[in-house]
Amino acid sequence: MTQALPHDSPAWADARPALSILIPFLRDDPSDLMQRLDQEAAAVADQAELIVLDDGTGDAALSARLAALVDRLTLPARLITLAANEGRSKGRNRLAQAARGDAFLFLDSDMKPDHEGFLAAWVALAAGARPAVAFGGFSLLQAPHDARFAVHRRMAARSDCIPAAQRAQQPEKYVFTSNLLVRRDVFAAETFDAGFTGWGWEDVEWAMRVSRRFEVVHLDNPATHMGLDTVEALAAKYEQSAPNFARVAARHPDFVCAYPSYRVARALKAVPGLATVRPLFKGAARAAFLPTALRAFSLRLYRAALYAEAI
């Protein structure tokens, strides 16, 4: 196992938190999110702790800045620095092992709470209703409007940033570790599958397994996804995600068969010469002179073509 170096805040040792906030990152700087959460420290009255995992970034200057920030936080906080990358699933499993609360709040490092009572709402829910799993949703409210992110913004707005009532119709599909509350006993029963590599689908596959045993609820306690990608970066993530999608489809065909991405992939699988056509989809998505809607549609086709070859 990769060596883990912990750095604790002065408040860490004596804390008895009910909620553990778990934030993994790789080559990002989670300082802004950490400070925004710490602004609610008084409101949550010692009920929350913050654990941040550097999954092998290898940036000594960033590590030093984050350690100094941890020392200044009011929230009990721990920074765990890994010498080598372990991946999204293993990293989150490691965070859960370090957590002391009865509930875990998984947040991505590029999230930004959309209102001042964000953390207090999660603490109240964890202490009151104590749901097995709850997803708060995410938005684009504070995300950048740069033209280079226009395609990702359109895709996220249409397929991801949707209200709780709509997400609840397919509760396992709309579960992402960007803003996710999990009760400790539920995570002990179902951890993330470390067999997933690269980017994508490990959180949805986890939710599929969990939803067979526990209730997954949705609510509107959103945070903004600040990490919008360019078409090139998003396409690269889709290329990584294709084997993961195939892994999910093989394990959970009853869920996946209802997903548009799967149905389109199945249809494209029958297209002769798909491997020749697929780069054209990516090229259209990259073409800045085309309407954003058409570029987004082309990128979805590119993703479906990748998935068609994987399943």
On the question of pLDDT at 200 being above 90, the answer is no
4-228 adopts what CATH topology? Spore Coat Polysaccharide Biosynthesis Protein SpsA; Chain A (3.90.550)
Q: What is the mean pLDDT of residues 143-153?
A: 95
Q: Where are the domains of the chain?
A: 4-228, 229-311
List residues bridging with 81 in a β-sheet: 5, 54
**What is each CA distance from 193 to 2, 22, 170, in whole angstroms?**
17, 17, 21
On the question of pLDDT at 1 being above 70, the answer is no
Per-residue pLDDT reduced to its tens digit, 246-275:
999 999 999 999 999 899 999 999 899 999
Nearest Cα to Cα of residue 264 among 306, 231, 233: 306
- How confident is the model at residue 226, as a pLDDT? 92
- How confident is the model at residue 249, as a pLDDT? 94
d(CA 109, CA 226): 9
DSSP letter string, 172-185: TTT--TTEEEEEHH
On the question of pLDDT at 121 being above 80, the answer is yes
Per-residue pLDDT reduced to its tens digit, 266-308:
999 989 999 999 999 999 999 999 999 999 999 999 999 999 9
- How confident is the model at residue 152, as a pLDDT? 97
Residue 240 structure tokens: 């990584």
Residue 216 structure tokens: 């997954």
On the question of pLDDT at 132 being above 70, the answer is yes
State the pTM of this model.
Answer: 0.92
Identify whether the C-beta of residue 47 lies closer than 8 Å to the C-beta of residue 20: no
Terminal C-alpha separation, the chain: 32
